[in-house]
Amino acid sequence: MRKVILPTLLLIATVSSFGQASFDHTVIEVGNLGMYITNAGTLGRPDVRNTPTGDPSMEYPINSGIEHLFEGGFWIGAIVDGQYLVSTSAKDAASGYTTGLAGYEFTSEIGNTIAQRSSLTSSDYFNFDAISHQDLLVDISDKNVIVPGTAITIADHTQPLYADIHLETYAWNYSFADYFVLLNYTITNNSTSVWDSVWCGIWNDMVVRNVNVSTDYGSAFFSHGGYGYLGDDFTNYAFDVDGDPGFTNAYGAFQFLGIEWRDQFIHPNNNDLLTANGYPAAEVNSNFWIFNSTATPPYNAPANDVERYDKLKQGLNYADPDIVEFLKDPSTTGGLTNLLSAGPMISVEPGETFHVVFAAVCAKQIENGGTTGVDMDTPEAQAELLEHLSWSKRTYLGEDQNENGLLDIGEDLDADTILDRYILPEPPATPKMKVIADDQRIDIYWDNRAEFSVDPISKEMDFEGYRLYRTQPGDDFNLNLIGDANMIAQWDLPANGIGFNNGFSAIALTTPEIIDEDTFYYKYTLDPVLNGWQYLIILTAFDRGDEDLHIESLESSFIENAVHVFPGTSPNNDANTEIGVYPNPYRLQAAWDGSTGTTGKIMFYNLPEHCTISIMTLSGDIVAELNHDAATYTGSDSEWFATYAGNEDERIFSGGEHAWNLLSESNQTITQGIYLFSVKDLDNGNIKQGRFAIIK
């Protein structure tokens, strides 16, 4: 059983006179999977349970609170001069990464932070060399036995392999590829010795829980997991058996994609060619063990390099029904960590480099007739996971359609005579969108850039149409607004036998409108909608696909154009317009309130553009004061929006309304009764007053 995790995580140790350890992290958040990457070579944010409002660890869908990873990292093992050596960037540790802790043997040099680049021209990190919409570049090495910048010795790390690793992560925002992150490790032997019989793996502690709703801490938080291995997809996976019923229903997974070494593609699917070329057949091994346990093998955590190398080289026997049952029974596992490994490379010479690629993949667990517990994990439940794994594999393989590591006839899609990996067919460009919230109304404008997109594979402008999605009032509490958004309209090219053939005349503006220096050609209005309620609005463009190239119709990003909209009254400085509150009377735990005492809200409406709202008891005592600025209001002074309405820059308000969280200035819940309010217009000094009631 693992120890209780402390409320705070020591990421950077106290420094000595040598200076400070150079610790850095960046979050992958371009798609629907948010993932935490550090320049110590670790994956995930180990304190995610204690501070769920912080950065995601491996969250999918983004902003849902459904996490899939405590921590992970890369392992490499080899035989050097007859001795077994293994270097690890993470291992079983109750607090996660701590400077100098045993098992955290990879470090970055001082000042070596994480670099970013992006293939999106709209990104601040746009770079022609980018592979994906968000690339992260990390350089680490196991050569240091003392943490750079400190006098701290890395525990039990006395014999480095002198492995230098350049990690590149790739992520996309396309709706068909926003659920995986590819991890491309480039490893160089910078020692003076040959590495023999080399194996590489990715260790991780997958924990699938909804951190927004889970209430247990310590070992209890980790004791609800089910685990498994998909042999055809070379994938370790985890799911939540009984921790957060109805609030999780998800899979987290790590998939092996391939090793490129000496012009050979090391993968079991390529074993015929490998053995014909005189190399050993590739193997992929899957191991799970009880967290930090000395249990009887094979369920023990490896205690030394010999045992770690053995785990890399040999996996569990999934033909044994006892092992399969063990992995899916949280009462016996108490929380498992796992290792997915591949090899061997017969040798790696000094100065030689090779590449290893894994994928982190998430998916919804499909409900199957009300099944609960271990029986949730059925082939039907895994359908989306399998689909997502196929897309991550397809993306990595690129032009290598037959998985042999060679550019065969007919595979050179861009005619550059180079085997290109990391290729995705591209949907049309995401339309530029402008959304304006008003009184019981939402206006949606967008441009026509998608219509001129050229697919990089078919080389054609294959735009077909637009789709509009929205959620319903009250969908907030499912914590998966993107998944709850339903298509409410589609417009596509007429008379081509694809889609609705309804054309664009119903939405085309007679004269393009310029708003904030952007030109818009289309407009659609949602009318009527409910003031004060949240609507997630998503606008996408889709193409017609290419049957000859086996490319299905593709749709642009659901993330890039997702905005949280709150209809309401516009700013009003008219001295004769009454300012009000709704709902009034307010009943405790109103329909739109959250699940906690700090996520309630009532709305003030018809507010001036700049004003101060004072809330008082009948005796005139100030309960709370709110400062309102229509141009900058994002709901940041109310926990409801932080919990249910995504990032601040994704929220759109009408400007004339402001939420109050029903808490006093000292964050105390107010009692039922009648309250007075006063609103002072800061532009003209006018003051308006009113009252509202709070009842059970």
Instruction: Tell me the pLDDT tens digit for each residue of 75-113.
Output: 999 999 999 999 999 999 998 999 999 999 999 998 889
pLDDT band at 144 (very low <50, low <70, confident <90, very high): very high
Whether pLDDT at 597 is above 90:
no
Whether pLDDT at 414 is above 90:
no
CA of 187: how far to CAs of 109, 140, 349, 567, in Å?
A: 17, 10, 12, 53
Mean pLDDT of 164-187: 96
pLDDT of amino acid 357: 98
pLDDT of amino acid 5: 34
- Yes or no: say if 507 and 523 are a contact pair by the CB < 8 Å rule: yes
pLDDT of amino acid 595: 78
pLDDT of amino acid 108: 94
**CA–CA separation, 4 vs 8, rounded Å?**
12
Cα Dmax for the chain = 90
If you average pLDDT over every residue of the chain, what do you get?
92
Token pair belonging to 18? 């040598």
Mean pLDDT of 351-379: 91
pLDDT of amino acid 15: 34
Mean pLDDT of 479-487: 87
Whether pLDDT at 655 is above 60:
yes
- Yes or no: say if 345 and 352 are a contact pair by the CB < 8 Å rule: no
pLDDT band at 6 (very low <50, low <70, confident <90, very high): very low
The b-or-e profile of 589-619 (16+ CB within 10 A means b, else e) is eeebbbeebebbbbbbbbbbbbbebbbbeee
In the chain the domains, ranked by start, together with CATH numbers, are 25-397 (no CATH), 433-566 (2.60.40), 580-695 (2.60.40.1930)
pTM exceeding the 0.75 threshold for the entire prediction: yes
Q: Tokens 């021209």 belong to which residue?
A: 121
CA of 156: how far to CAs of 164, 420, 492, in Å?
A: 19, 41, 63
- Yes or no: say if 380 and 239 are a contact pair by the CB < 8 Å rule: no
The rounded percent of the chain whose pLDDT value lies above 70 is: 96
User: Which of 36-50, 217-231, 363-377, 504-518 shows the lowest mean pLDDT across its residues?
Assistant: 363-377
Mean pLDDT of 173-183: 94
- Yes or no: say if 417 and 407 are a contact pair by the CB < 8 Å rule: yes
User: Which of 9-13, 278-282, 312-316, 542-546 shows the lowest mean pLDDT across its residues?
Assistant: 9-13
> Residue 4 contacts by C-beta under 8 Å, 6 or more apart in sequence?
94, 217, 218, 219
pLDDT, one tens digit per residue, over 190-202 is: 999 999 999 999 9
pLDDT of amino acid 550: 66
Q: What's at 124, amino acid-wise? A: D
Identity of the highest mean pLDDT range in 130-139, 552-561, 665-674: 130-139
SS3 568: coil
Q: What's CA 440's distance to the chain center, in Å?
A: 33
Mean pLDDT of 450-470: 91
Mean pLDDT of 250-278: 97
Whether pLDDT at 152 is above 70:
yes
Token pair belonging to 31? 């798609």
pLDDT band at 441 (very low <50, low <70, confident <90, very high): very high
SS3 670: coil
The rounded percent of the chain whose pLDDT value lies above 90 is: 75
pLDDT of amino acid 20: 38
pLDDT, one tens digit per residue, over 627-645 is: 999 999 999 999 899 889 9
pLDDT of amino acid 437: 98
Token pair belonging to 351? 């100065």
How many beta carbons lie within 10 A of that of residue 86, not counting itself?
A: 24
